[in-house]
Structure 1
């Protein structure tokens, strides 16, 4: 005789399966839907943020008068601006120095093949340049954690729209600040970073309401790729604008990139809403579909006030391994983001136009490798031939040790063989794709359960520290712009990569932590209340 409870249970399961297949059959297609438009706007938001994050790194090559800077040791250190009236005195006083520099440059392959070099009007030492580049990250680190709270209180749409509008306006006025002095520009960059720091955490809040479970990885992954695209666009376009742009060349980088940010912010505020419920352009069919598919996540986020186990998080070995690994990897990441154009100029002697294109190539390699390796790692984990923890260890290890080896090779490259240096950088960032595709940041979702968002915010805060320290240290070390000085920079980065690889190898764990198992929430609810962070930058 069949038990009535079993009968009703089986009947209920069949009904659930029927509803599931009906939803799959009649669910609105992603392409050209409103949620597709949300993902597209997120993609451009990430791209624009990165364009405006690194624009100063390429612009500063055109802003600084390096000829005058090389003569500056015999001048008063307070001089910031170069003008023609002082040029004869400078040339007479430093004839031997410029002769030596010229003789060295004549041995360079790129100096023979490229001749498009321009000199700016600012006499800013390398330490001043480093300080100015780092000022963005002083602001960026402050809003990493508070922006999640602000998104809950005021809505992700408002936080994203208005913070990026402010950042766009400040980017447009950056040239005027630069003309007022490096302190004024540094303050401006600080507030741009402060505004930009809200982007990634606020986007996570928006995804809660807009990404159905079966499309989440696809949407978040595709949108997050905008960060790589921003780098790939900004570097070559910035180089071209330095040469041919209006307003004196380099100012047009800030005018154009800032204006794009303003346009995006206005469009975002007009067309995007916090939830499908309040969207003016969505169909009833798509709205019902999204609300049904996200109701568990929304109820977990809004209906339950979880107490964050701060002490358990900050005493967790695997959390600290994640924080340290992200910090160490981002030392290299921010070294490339802020200093790669300077290295291309100082050591490899590429002119500004070639500099932008050559600096973009490693990011193309990283974007491609990250996408491919994410699929490979998923297949390896699903095959169960290697444990998830070991996959995370191996991918993090290759993602750091690979670039370590390439940076050691790069430290011996001179302008006599500049293209080998570009190849080493392409391989370094290509191998770094192992880290982004299946390393520590992805592991946050494995260990953190319902607290993954909190852990991600803490990790990103630690990951921003190199952005503050690295540019300034590089500026201090490379004050004479020599290959030997850059060799020290790359060896330091290699050591930091090794520390990140070793710490994560010994303390990694991909099992959900005991403190992340929320009482009265099923495992399914825990998993549904978190986001797959596979494509996060983290970049951020």
Structure 2
């Protein structure tokens, strides 16, 4: 490996271009993913469903037991009544909302494999385009039958399952080690902007959109996704050496800082060492940290509006704005955390693994503390709850400088397949987390939500502890190229000879 690597400016670089286009891609990807959670409110005729299932009596009982029941009942009269055209029962709506993850869990590993074989540019472009097409035909599927819509959502999940392992595969050959936290953090921060933007956008389209309101949600977001695919294929290349927009100086910087990875990959495609991966303690520690982070993320994404409605009695109009505030903070801390993490490593203040551990402690530890604290706030303490949730969810964004980038630390050559395995495991959190919330909060009381947050806090702290104890920050032996192994052997021989010749 080259002893000295001359860094080039990030501003105006090809690697920053990839991060920015990837950022916009993540905005689109998450808008495609979460649009249905808002759209379903105006798709379904809730009054008709209540009449069929007799849910009206249950809702009255629930409101009577809610912490801020008086406030909730007062505000409920102010809500706009949305009468959708689809009569989907509550269990059918549950299948619709979970269908994405059933498809998502099936394509994680194969996504990393395909990206390594055919390139992340092609895999990401095709899967986002496929998701866009499925979104554009979603109104037709929904009016055909609930089963057709569920199939469309599951297929979209299958498509999107390949995206993030493919992104990791690309960054393994694009991101210099000392810029990994910043570049990957900037890319994935788009997910939270997509999450935040889709809520008010869908609400406006639901009420004022064309084609009957709710169908316009899918038409607009699907069209934007198609346009992004054109941007992606035009501006992005799989590898620095294939880019037409990279300077020779930047190309040398990236290739020199990743010399071993690029050299070994150029000779031949290495087989994924599956057995060694599954026997690796640092890998399982990484999976534990990943599972904990996703558990907290999925619980909040699916349950934050419910908590604010159940315990604080906030109306639907307020929820769209207030639930966006923590995710704006999340976006800020993703990028701030990545910037600080890279600075700590560049200045040799902390080692790679110490930086990852600190990021996990700050991210998941603070989230656990603030979630539990928010569960003990009730009616009349809305401002305090928003502050706690904003701090908890916001600071959890620092995890992108923790477990997320650690995939690149320990196995840059196999980062895509490895992330695919991790995402497959953590999809379980996306499936059982919301189900757990539903089981534990039948009446929506504050005591029930406190239990949810205590369990979530326990998962967050357990995952952080395991990660801090057993994770590693250096490339693992099974992920080293033959060049690396030869250099390590030579270094060990020189060290041994030097010690033997010493008096």
The answer to whether the 8 A contact 1:177-1:188 is kept is: yes
Shift of the 181–350 alpha-carbon distance from structure 1 to 2, 3 Å rule, reads farther
* C-alpha displacement of 1:323: 0.3
CA–CA distance in structure 2, aligned partners of residues 35 and 503 of structure 1: 33
Aligned residue in 2 for 1:338? 302
What are the residue-to-residue correspondences of 1:23-62 with 2, within 5 Å?
Answer: 37-62=17-42
Instruction: Report the alpha carbon displacement of residue 322 of structure 1 after superposing the two structures with TM.
Output: 1.0
Pick the aligned partner of 2:424 from 445, 461, 473.
461
| Shift in CA distance, 498/157, structure 1 to aligned 2, threshold 3 Å | closer
Distance 1:257 1:130 in 2: 22
Does 2:483 correspond to 1:503? no
For residues 186 and 176 of structure 1, the distance between their equivalents in structure 2, rounded to whole angstroms, comes to 12
Residues 327-350 of structure 1: per-residue CA shift (max 9 Å, x gap)? 121011112223333444444443
Q: Classify 1:49/1:106 alpha carbon distance in 2 versus 1 (closer, same or farther; 3 Å).
A: same
Contact 1:69 1:123 in 2 (8 A): yes
Post-superposition offset of 1:522: 6.5
- Out of 143, 160, 171, which is 2:135 matched to? 171
Look up the match of 1:79.
none
Which runs of no fewer than 5 residues in structure 2 stay unpaired? 489-503
**Against the structure 1 CA distance between its residues 404 and 133, is the aligned structure 2 distance closer, same or farther, given a 3 Å change threshold?**
same
Is 2:241 aligned against 1:261?
Answer: no
Equivalences for 1:22-421 in 2 at 5 Å?
37-66=17-46, 73-74=53-54, 98=60, 101=63, 107-108=70-71, 111-112=74-75, 115-121=78-84, 122=86, 124=88, 127-207=91-171, 219-274=183-238, 282=244, 286=246, 288-289=248-249, 292-295=252-255, 296=259, 297-381=261-345, 388-414=352-378, 416-421=380-385
For the residues of structure 2 that align with 1:374 and 1:35, how far apart are their CA atoms?
15
Larger gyration radius, structure 1 or structure 2: 1
TM-score (norm 2): 0.81
Q: State the TM-score, normalizing by the size of structure 1.
A: 0.76
Q: Which residue of 2 aligns with 1:534?
A: none
Cα distance change, pair 304–39 in 1 and its aligned pair in 2 (3 A)? same
- 8 Å CA contact 2:109–2:420 kept in 1: the answer is yes
Which segment drifts farther, 105-114 or 307-316? Answer: 105-114
CA separation in 1, counterparts of 2:145 and 2:441? 22
Moved more, 218-227 or 157-166: 218-227
Distance in 2 between residues matched to 1:110 and 1:381, nearest whole Å: 53
Contact 2:179/2:342 (CA < 8 Å) preserved in 1?
no
The CA distance in 2 between the partners of 1:480 and 1:185, in whole Å, is: 30
Aligned CA distance change for structure 1 residues 202 and 167 (closer, same or farther; 3 Å): same
Distance (whole Å) between structure 2 residues aligned to residue 196 and residue 278 of structure 1: 25
